[in-house]
Chains A and B, each alone.
Chain A
Amino acid sequence: MVEKKKVAEHGLEGQVMTTRLGSFIDFLKGKGNELAGWARASSLWPYTFGTACCGIELMGYMASFTDAARFGAEVVRFSPRQADCMIVAGTITDKQAPILRKIYDQMLEPKYVISMGVCASSGGFYRAYHVVQGIDELIPVDVYVPGCPPNPEGLVYALMQLQKKIMSEKVDYNTRGRLMERLREVDEKEKDLGE
């Protein structure tokens, strides 16, 4: 049996436990947050939003050399409903902006965004009439990756940072309550617009 202290120090990473049921339940009660965070962080399903050359580096990041599968983030879903980590890889034009917002809204919570490359992060060298100057104008971003384009290793580092962030988050189990709150907000907004 692994001592509780040891698990608490190291988290659950790489640990194989054999324990009595009672002490395991005690452990879950104390460490539910970490457990859920660890589960979320280790099974990110990315949704790729590749619009430019960053998309090519994104393929390299998925492929064998850097291999995102090692981090549990290899199951690329091309439907936002099945994904929880959006990787925006490339230039977002003003024409593309409402589409990005719509797809982000379609993703289920908890959802995270990695902004890959300078175009997505700040507009990059497109300081012009047609490009969004950073996708944080539209959606909240968790991790920015600089580079034009960043190499796959950079994106792996961003993924590790995101995992750290997820594991340190406090898990909110009241998803239904939050959903109802959100719907109420939308209703009020529509009322305001109607008036």
Chain B
Amino acid sequence: MTDQENITVQKLRENFPEEILDVGGRPNDVAVTVRRDRIPDICRFLRDDPDLSYKYFIDICGVDYMEMEKTPRFAVIYNLLSFEKGHRIRLKVLLEESDPAVDSVIEIWKGADWFEREAFDMFGIQFRNHPFLRRILTHHQFVGHPLRKDYEHGRRQLCTEVWDLEFD
């Protein structure tokens, strides 16, 4: 690992010692698994700390581990990039099947809005405090979450009426 990436992990260990569950990945691609309860605090720290300044929010990925038979079935992965320091990090949050919910980070990065809606649409992961958590890719008559591994492969659901556009 290079020094800079060590800094990210070190700083996280210093400030959130109880939140970190696991550190993995490769030298240029560190993945930190954290508890889900203080995600907004961790994200705000990563963005605002002058040594880290992860100001660019790349993506949120949802994951369904059903076929790998891991115990927490779902995961949400935050991909972050620091333009200033030139380093990246992946934050990983594991979610139980009974309660797949995590706090929204939309207040920290505005760009998280549509990614959270996508993760909700595809995996049914709830993002608490999201102001407009509604389906974004599938149509309004769609039932279920198509990227869950127990969704029947290729089952289509027909859309019969046009949904009026809404603007803010």
Contact = CB atoms under 8 A, between A and B. Distances in A.
A142 to B, nearest CB: 24
A129 B157 contact: yes
Contacts of B162: 98-99, 102
Interface residues of B, number: 14
B146 to A, nearest CB: 5
Contacts of B151: 129
Interface residues of A, number: 12
A99 B139 CA distance: 12
Contacts of B158: 94, 97
A121 B162 CA distance: 22
Main secondary structure of the interface of A (DSSP, over half): loop
B161 interface: yes
A95 interface: yes
B154 interface: yes
Interface string B23-64: 000000000000000000000000000000000000000000
Contact of A98 (B137, B138, B160): B160
Nearest to A126: B154
B110 interface: no
A133 B154 CA distance: 11
Interface of B: 137-139, 146, 151, 154-162
